[in-house]
Structure 1
């Protein structure tokens, strides 16, 4: 397949899966078995394309947080976003430097999809007891920050899923509130991760990346990500994440059953 077309397809796939709790990294890894493997920089940079879509969707909310920090409620929310990001940055950098990460092969991704689906079912059942709680506490912020690191260590977990369900597990009963916090904290997280990978790439020479293909995938991820997140924000107002759990379980089981030994 033409490399540019493959990059376009990967960008579309990233945009569609980044915000759904089904793991964009896992889907990209699976797709790259057929479309060709890509660099860490490519995979993280196109995730930032999807995160740019979140920035556009939440532009008014971000503006109100940036300009309304004098208001106690706005300042409190902004500080909790900052705390969640700080936890992710410190623990994530420590994990990165320490080499704490599973290999990005299909087997661990399949297990992460399957077990993550089961976890979603259990968390959804527990979340019924939290009622209409929408408050983002300090506990929620710290747990969400740590959950993002877990998603980075275990390919196939899904960063957005880990953050959303960590918030729900920590007591946020309203899915829209948990989703908003998870999405907003993902903005600095993914942009920082991209900056780290770009810096590392440049320090290692910076001449092997196909920048044109990366740009095409980035734009595709931004456009499809914008569409996907607008849909999801409407969906969570009246639905649970249970269908996504069963999708993860089915896909994970199918991958495990279809894998040759040693994959």
Structure 2
């Protein structure tokens, strides 16, 4: 029962930190130091990635009309001249092509070097440093862009070139835990002149193939070499369900928040948390 309660807490943390630009991986590492799940190392390595599936489903449900490219007769251009009444939203198809371009850098590096990168950088020092670096980046970028009108104010304004550049920022997060995938892509998008709302939406949409892919890869690797106990299965399901529910609330909150505010508060939070992590690490409170 205690492990199920822990799974609920992990799900809450995942649901909050996956979408706010404050690093879900960093928080999950810290949470596991403070309140470790009594599971095998192999299962936990898989769990902290696959739990993201719950968070992804929240995006799919909330933004379904912006993600599903097919519609009924009164929508956009016809899919075929068969008289079947099936129509396709070409803007959404184009958006998906842009998303795939953004996925390429992280996908290549993740597939080829996942285990090596985890061995090198999966530690509190990296998490703390990246929390601080991107915290500073948020403050600097928002200060520099204060009062300026963004060049891109709609998803249709994102070109293949911009999509690739955003993918390079996402690659940083794929390599260094503590960066925050959403944090890296949002900072990158802001630097490229994309509005906060569009930056956040594109980040959410980009998460769908990236996190599905990462979850399937981790899950497959685990099942090939390990078996899952009934308790571990319950922990995973509970964590995913809670992450899904919390994500629904957090995504709605963030989209409303950034219409009136900038991202500086998240930058300051990251800096403060990064300093705390470094202090705790040097004091031996958390592991190396």
Q: Output the TM-score relative to the length of structure 2.
A: 0.83
Does residue 158 of structure 2 align to residue 136 of structure 1? yes
1:125 alignment counterpart: 143
Does residue 280 of structure 2 align to residue 258 of structure 1? yes
Pairing partner for 1:223 from 245, 266, 280: 245
The CA deviation at 1:225 is: 0.7
Q: What is the root-mean-square deviation of aligned Cα atoms in Å?
A: 2.1
Q: In 2, Cα distance between the equivalents of 1:244 and 1:107?
A: 20
Q: In 2, Cα distance between the equivalents of 1:249 and 1:178?
A: 22
The CA deviation at 1:88 is: 2.7
Q: Output the TM-score relative to the length of structure 1.
A: 0.91
Alignment of 1:95-114 (within 5 A): 95-96=113-114, 99-101=116-118, 102-114=120-132
CA separation of 1:210 and 1:20: change in aligned 2, threshold 3 A? same
1:242 alignment counterpart: 264
Unaligned runs of 5+ in 2: 78-87
Does residue 221 of structure 2 align to residue 200 of structure 1? yes
Does residue 64 of structure 2 align to residue 59 of structure 1? yes
The CA deviation at 1:71 is: 5.2
Q: Which has the larger radius of gyration?
A: 2
Does residue 49 of structure 2 align to residue 44 of structure 1? yes
1:89 alignment counterpart: 107
Q: In 1, Cα distance between the equivalents of 2:239 and 2:102?
A: 28
Alignment of 1:157-236 (within 5 A): 157-172=179-194, 174-207=195-228, 210-236=232-258
CA separation of 1:100 and 1:34: change in aligned 2, threshold 3 A? closer
Unaligned runs of 5+ in 1: none
2:96 alignment counterpart: 78
Q: In 2, Cα distance between the equivalents of 1:147 and 1:95?
A: 17
